[in-house]
Structure 1
């Protein structure tokens, strides 16, 4: 029997029904994007989020430095570059690192689009003219959530975050 590396006293589990959803988390730049952080690892650059997009949301064109797994729970969305491949409830999308696209939710959606995503690395965002805007990664998401908690007078966010790097004894 192998020896566990960590002393697991309990499972690292979250029930999304018990956690707050940070409405308009990306406002004022990208209103209509509600975020529920689940796992944020700034060391490995991995972020798992539940993101709810309101009808009409359009994110900037972005480049992924690593792969993305995206599962659509409800609603409908597509990439501007692939209008004939809408993603609807039940769709799973894998995006390899190096992908470039523009996320949009149709204005005529009758419901919000609820998604779950696991992102490795960063999104490098560009404006409509192809100029660099910003980089969004696990650290950026952590800072956005911390700012919202402080500004809105909310309880500290609860999500899974692995430990920081450190030296071994000796």
Structure 2
């Protein structure tokens, strides 16, 4: 039997994964890391941000798919507004500034499938930080340790 044949379909309970503050950027935005794939450099996360908040401008080294669950958000560099049910496909090498739009509830919640790195930029497009599957896993493990939570192996193909 091949190794992949032994991998079974798994389901992850949303409530079993903690909301982790998106530090060092802000204590007000939170990320829920569902999966991190070190082979493909992909993460599956939920993001929760208060209405009206802007996150730092960022550049994508890979593609990103964002499904809006709650609230509304946009990029300062684009005219559209994503609302619940919207799917945004972000191409590799794109850069933009996310803003949670006010007037659509008190927060936004999105599901994000990110391939590659997020490179955070300052107002002069100088690199502030680089996020990857590894930094997301480290943030999750550090949070679990500080809170006394038993972490799940988010890199495993099993649930």
Assess same fold via TM > 0.5. yes
Among 108, 113, 116, the alignment partner of 2:111 is 116
- Structure 1 Cα separation of the partners of residues 74 and 19 of structure 2: 23
Larger radius of gyration: 1
Q: CA offsets per residue over residues 18-67 of structure 1, 9 Å max, x none?
A: 323324x2134223212111110123211011111122321111110011
Number of the residue aligned with 2:12: 14
Map of 1:1-170 to 2, 5 A cutoff? 5-8=3-6, 10-16=8-14, 18-23=15-20, 25-82=21-78, 84-157=79-152, 159-162=154-157
- The gaps in structure 2 that reach 5 residues or longer are none
Cα pair distance change 1:108/1:145, threshold 3 Å: same
For the 8 Å contact 2:75–2:97, the answer to whether it is kept is yes
C-alpha displacement at 1:10, in angstroms?
4.0
Output the TM-score relative to the length of structure 1: 0.82
The number of aligned residues is 158
